[in-house]
Structure formats: structure tokens, C-alpha cells
Amino acid sequence: MHTVEAFRDLQSEAIAWRHHLHENPELGYAVHDTARFVTEKLASFGINHIETGIAETGIVALIQGAGGDGPTIGLRADMDALPILEASNKPWSSKVSGKMHACGHDGHMAMLLGAAKYLAKTRNFKGSVALIFQPAEEVELPSGGLRMVQEGIMDRFGISQVFGMHNSPSVEVGKFAICDGPIMASQDDFDIVVKGRGGHAAKPHETIDPVVIAAQIIVGLQSLVSRSTNPLESLVISVTKFNAAQAYNIIPDHVEMAGTVRTLVPGLRDFAEQRILAVAQGIARGFGADIEFKYRRSVPVTFNHTEGTNLAINVARHLVGLASVNDNIERRMGAEDFAYMLEARPGAIILLGNGPTAGLHHPAYDFNDDALSYGIAYWVNLVETALAS
């Protein structure tokens, strides 16, 4: 296995790519210039099997090893930025007002490009590597990872295992963190409209006040977590929107509320959908009102498979040492659309230390250039280990 030092030269090149990408952020599926930049780089590395336009702007590039036949493993990077006004004050700050790479996807692309350059030159493995660059990780349904899977990339490129990497500001540079099994939560969203009867705020007895009913529903939903869910299993139900009348003296005829459900236990999604409806409907009907209910399933639980996780741990340990790899990090209640790829194929996502920077999605966040060589080395060693010839 190679050391991190072996990739220092490549790191200075990757820094330049990263800064270019950081200065020119694009959102969602509209990552046209980003995809063009990535495609041109891949072609310049001598990779000739490049398919573009998957899920609008996604790319899959195939590098064949020199070691003969073998499986194909997929390595994934995400390409989209966020609608945030940058406040990092870095010389390479976003040139596009109101858009920035606040989740480090610029760094993710630069690391996968760095690994691609090295792997295309050396080809010291059997089988093939599929480099997956996906758009629209940050958007709501259907996100880029899902659409690339739906457009058949796993079958079309014969991918048998898939790996991801995301930077983490809570982990030191030069360290990695991962866990077997569920590592990030699923995300579902719901909307509830409480339909009562409006009227004058001074004559509540002539109304069916949806505000009071909606307030009881919010409290009722919290008891689904505290009283109906196994305390050893994680479930979050957060009501985040609440729209009622816009006046002091009006009881509205309806209230709109909405929220999100996060869990690490796939079965709790069915439970949440059924029980939120039952509680909201039961409370509303008890007071003579009714509800409309919508439950929208978004990203599934990001589930690391044991074999892929063990491979990732071994590669990371060889690279940075036993003490610098946390192999049992606390699971996270945020969602990650790499989950769709891990539903389609076994594999694992690992967290790469970004050091004590501002948090992800914060206006002052910036990917840490010192982390680039660790990420490049991880990708290269993962390929040469999984596809040892």
C-alpha cells in the first residue's frame, strides 16, 4: 500500500482543481460547467470510456486494470453546491453570489479526480474501477444518487461493490471514521392540514379551532417517540412548519403543519407513517375537525455492509494507523443520498477528517486542502486492495 506522502505532488494539482470548482459552484442537476470540467480532466488522464449525461449531468468513467479480468468497483463523488452566500473569506471564495460549496463536494471531486489520474496511469489492479460523479446530492426527491441508480449504472457498468467518502469537520485531518450497519438516518417528510371551522377570536365556541387542535397534535406526535418507540432505537419526529391565521382576532378555518421523520431503523418508517396519521386523525376527530395527510419517503437509511466496512477500515488503518481510525462512530441522524447506491450494491461510506472548520452547510465552511492527499491515498489503496491482481 502507498503512503499519504506518495500523493503530495498529486495533492498540489488537486488543490488547484478544488479551488477552481470552489470558485464556480453550481446547484442540483444544473452542474453543467462542473461536469464539463470533470469530464475534461478524466479524458486528459487517458480515460476513454466516459459516459456523460446520466441523470442529466452525472458521469461514469471506467478505468480497466492491467491485471486482467476481475470485478468492477464503484467510487462515488458528489458535484453539487448549496444555495448559501459564502462567508469563508478564502481567496478562492465563490464567484457566484448566493451559491457555495458548503458541503465539501468540491473536495470530494478533487480527491476522486486525483485517484483517477493515478489509477489511469498505473492500472495496477485487476478488473475495473467505475468513477461515479453524481449531481443533485443536496436536493429533495428524486436526488441524483437515486436517479443514477434508476438509470441503471450498476448493471450497465457491471458494478459489484460501491464506496463513498464524505468529509467531516468533527474528525481531525488525517483521521477516518466509520461504522458497520446504519451510519446515517433515513429522511421522510410529512404534511398535515387540520381542517376546523374559522370565526371571530372572541367567539371560540362558534368555531372548531384548528390552532388548539394542531397544538395537541404536535404534543401527541412527540409521545410516539417517547412512549411508543423502543428507547434503544432511534426515531426523530420534528414538526418544523406551522401556518395559521395572519391576524390577532381571527380563528382560521385550517392550519397547515409539516415536519420530518429521521430514523436508523427502516421498519420505523412504516410505524411513523401509520402512527402519525392515526394520532393526528384521532385528535382532530375528537374535537370535530379532520385532517389531510401526506407522507413522503425520501432518502433511505445509509447502510454500511460488513464486508465493505471491514475493507474500508483495513485500508484506512494501513494508511494512517490503528489509532487514527474510529471504526465505531456514533451514528448520525442526517441523511445522505449515497444510501440509494448502498441499497443497490454492497459497500460502505467512510468519513474523512476535515479538522476544526465551520460545520457542513455553514457560510464559513471550507473543505480542508490538507485532507486531499488522505482521500486520494484512501481511494487508490482501496482499489489496489479490493482488486489486487
Closest approach, Cβ 265 to Ni ion, in A, equals: 23
| Closer residue to Ni ion, CB minimum distance, 103 or 387 | 103
CA separation for the pair 258, 263 (Å, rounded): 17
Q: Which stretch binds Ni ion (CB under 5 A): 52-60, 97-105, 224-232, 268-276?
A: 97-105
The residue number with the shortest CB distance to Ni ion is: 103
- Answer yes or no: are the C-beta atoms of 77 and 132 closer than 8 Å: yes
Count residues near Ni ion (CB under 5 A).
Answer: 1
Q: Which stretch binds Ni ion (CB under 5 A): 20-28, 98-106, 156-164, 377-385?
A: 98-106
- Answer yes or no: are the C-beta atoms of 62 and 120 closer than 8 Å: no
Region 175-204 residues binding Ni ion, contact defined as CB under 5 A: none
Q: Which stretch binds Ni ion (CB under 5 A): 46-54, 90-98, 99-107, 139-147?
A: 99-107
| Closer residue to Ni ion, CB minimum distance, 8 or 361 | 361
The H or E element containing residue 22 is helix 8-23
Closest approach, Cβ 70 to Ni ion, in A, equals: 30
| Closer residue to Ni ion, CB minimum distance, 60 or 103 | 103
Q: Which of 33, 14, 38, 28 is nearest to 132 (CA)?
A: 38
Neighbour tally for 286: CB within 10 Å: 10
Q: Which of 339, 347, 2, 378 is nearest to 144 (CA)?
A: 339
Neighbour tally for 319: CB within 10 Å: 21
Distance set, CA 261 to CA 86, 142, 143, 147, 281 (Å): 29, 17, 18, 22, 18
Q: Which stretch binds Ni ion (CB under 5 A): 11-19, 27-35, 103-111, 248-256?
A: 103-111
| Closer residue to Ni ion, CB minimum distance, 50 or 173 | 173
- The three cell numbers locating residue 340: 440509494
| Closer residue to Ni ion, CB minimum distance, 171 or 283 | 171
Bond before 142 cis per omega within 30 degrees: yes
DSSP 8-state secondary structure symbol assigned to residue 23 = H
The mark string for 43-82 relative to Ni ion (x by CB under 5 A, - otherwise) is ----------------------------------------
Residue of 10, 103, 178, 224 that binds Ni ion (CB under 5 A): 103
| Closer residue to Ni ion, CB minimum distance, 209 or 337 | 337
- The three cell numbers locating residue 227: 412512549
Closest approach, Cβ 297 to Ni ion, in A, equals: 20
- Answer yes or no: are the C-beta atoms of 96 and 74 closer than 8 Å: no
Closest approach, Cβ 132 to Ni ion, in A, equals: 15
Closest approach, Cβ 103 to Ni ion, in A, equals: 3
Residues that bind Ni ion (CB under 5 A): 103
